Amino acid sequence: MTINLERAVEHLEKLAMELENRRFAVRMHAPRDRAPHLNVINTAAPVLTEKVLAAPDSDGTWAFHFPWPQLIAPVHDIRAAADRIERVLAEVDR
């Protein structure tokens, strides 16, 4: 399945805003030859970082994924996606 790169960037930008509100550092990477992704960094523990992708599944439903691949949440549920990413990147005692 071909990914609409502009649409992927739009979804990732919405997620980036939510993560930045939660005090994560977020960088968008949109290389011409690969799918765009966010690099999300826990500012309290910068060693805790992960990439996040946005892509449609086989039935065309868009969702956020970790690259290993693991579903995070559908793109329409930004809060759930941010919650899951926050749990994955949480330092001890957060």
Within a domain: 64:
yes
Q: Yes or no: say if 65 and 37 are a contact pair by the CB < 8 Å rule.
A: no
User: Is the pTM of the predicted complex or chain greater than 0.85?
Assistant: yes
Q: Which domain CATH number covers 40?
A: 3.30.310
Within a domain: 11:
yes
Q: How far is residue 25's CA from residue 32's CA, in Å, rounded to a whole number?
A: 23
Q: Which two tokens stand for residue 77?
A: 């549920």
Within a domain: 21:
yes
Average pLDDT for runs of 10 along the chain of length 94: 84 98 96 90 94 93 92 97 96 65
pLDDT of residue 91: 78
Within a domain: 79:
yes
Domain count, the chain: 1
